[in-house]
Amino acid sequence: MQDTQEIAGKFRELCELCKSPADVIKTKKNLLVVSHVDADGLTAAAIVCTALERRGLDFQPKFFRQLDEAALEEVADHGADLVIFTDLGSAMIQQICDHRLLAVVADHHRPVVCEARPIAHINPHLVGADGATQLSGSGTAFLLARALASTPGGNDDLAALAVVGAVGDLQDMAHGQMVGINRHILEIGSNAGALSFSRDIKFFGRQTRPVYKMLEYSSDPYLPGLSGNEDACIAFLKEIGIRLGGEKWRRWIDLSQEEKAGFVTAVLRKGLRSGISNVKLERLIGEVYILLGEQEGTELRDASEYSTLLNATARYGHAGVGLSVCMGDRDKAFSEAQRLLGQHRQNLVNGLKLVREKGITTLKSIQYFDAGNAILDTIVGIVAGMSFQMGDRSRPILAFALTAKGELKVSARGTQDLVRSGLDLADALSRCAGAVGGVGGGHNVAAGATIPPQAKEEFLVLMDATVGRQLIRE
């Protein structure tokens, strides 16, 4: 991990890169904000759109599952004076310039090497920072928004959304907390009174889920005898003296500090008795992020739950709903987002059930399942990550799903343990998809690709060999 002084230098370098494009953006009247359909993409778009709104500039948002030639043609047909790409674009710099788009790209995915140059390309990789753990797409957008502020610190409150996006992108998982340039953004948001951070249990659902459900759905680490077993979780909580509730189930935020401490101690002991290593159990505790301007007990109060709510909108074609929530709608849009979240949770349950029934195929260095058209290609990656609870954590997992266009979507997920052993899914998918006539990219721990359906078997052979070369096998 880079030292504090070095990271501070990269933060200043990126901030400096944002000044010139911000000056250009302020002179334009017809702006198009193009972003990705996940929590990081939604928050990135919302940050930029809010900054533009505060400057009184006209803009329109547009969201894509992936940026390809068809998407770029659609963007070009819009006829905007300037296009701001957030959380995507770095892999398509040459094509963006080929379309003669006046563009600013604020992304964090690994850029491709090319000679073309847009007005500005803001990306942590360009200053030697890691876009998988040190700065998200929403974080990059936040740096641009700071440069767009009419007064110093005028957009610092938007750091809260940048943290939501980073958490949605799992950037806090490698070290149990925000690191790198993300850390600077976290501190800016804290100083602005927009959010707070502290060490706590890392289980999902601290604000809204009953405690037994929070425990039941724990997956990192997977707790034998508890994870996935509702009855066992209820019995466990009763055994350690935690009252579940009367008319209303008690949530994590309803427990006293003494109860929380007793819960953590009991879970750690059970984990050790089950043979889970101390290193894995340490992941139970980490940094959590609270949005101070949001109502306690709602999905928007906790960065992790907020990001899941956003995924439930954009990944189902309702990015406008998620964007409205990010930009402050706590009435109609928030209610609709909560409804979509309920459907999203059921779809994930159904997806996991399908994987359990069909099984996971194990090769030498990877494992995979093919969902066909039974799981939406926009959420199959989430299902893949959750499927580790029934798979082999010593191998990355690949998931296949057919898209509406008849292409084959590949979503790959690893673990931080695998990344430490050399896994780089972004590089592997980029190389292997390209070799079979597809495209791919992303991050070392999570990446995606689109390939021709007939190339699946060849792609699997290439991926198995590529990942095998990456991993350090003892």
Map out the domains of the chain as residue ranges. Answer: 4-194, 204-291, 359-470
The CATH number of 359-470, from 2.40.160.40, 3.20.20.60, 3.10.310.40, 3.40.50.300, is 3.10.310.40
Dihedral of CA 297/310/14/439: which sign? Answer: positive
- Which pLDDT does position 474 carry in this prediction? 42
The phi and psi torsions of 200 (rounded to 5 degrees) equal -160, 180
Span 353-387, pLDDT tens digits:
999 999 999 999 999 999 999 999 989 999 999 88
118 or 423: which carries more pLDDT confidence? 423
99: Cβ contacts below 8 Å, ≥ 6 apart: 72, 73, 75, 76
Please give the share of the chain, as a percent, with pLDDT higher than 90: 80
Output the pLDDT for position 220: 72
Band of the pLDDT at 118, cuts 50, 70, 90?
Answer: confident
Q: What angle do CA 253, 259, 265 make, to 5 degrees?
A: 115
Nearest to 141 by CA among 116, 113, 114, 169: 169
Asked if 307 and 172 count as a contact pair (C-beta separation under 8 A), the reply is no
pLDDT digits (tens, 9 = 90+) for 378-405: 899 999 998 887 888 899 999 999 998 8
Answer for the pair 367, 360: CB distance below 8 angstroms, yes or no.
yes
- Model pLDDT, residue 462: 98
Taking 90 as the threshold, does the pLDDT of residue 4 lie above it?
A: no
The model's pLDDT over 178-198, given as tens digits with 9 standing for 90+, comes to: 999 999 999 999 999 999 999
pLDDT, tens only, 317-345: 999 999 999 999 999 999 999 999 999 98
Q: Write out the DSSP string of 27-51.
A: T-SSEEEEEESSHHHHHHHHHHHHH
Right CATH number for 4-194 from 3.90.1640.30, 1.20.81.30, 3.30.1490.20, 3.40.50.1000? 3.90.1640.30
Average pLDDT, the chain: 93
Tens digit of each residue's pLDDT (9 = 90 or more) over 271-284? 999 888 887 788 88
pTM over the 0.85 mark: yes
Start-to-end Cα distance in the chain: 24
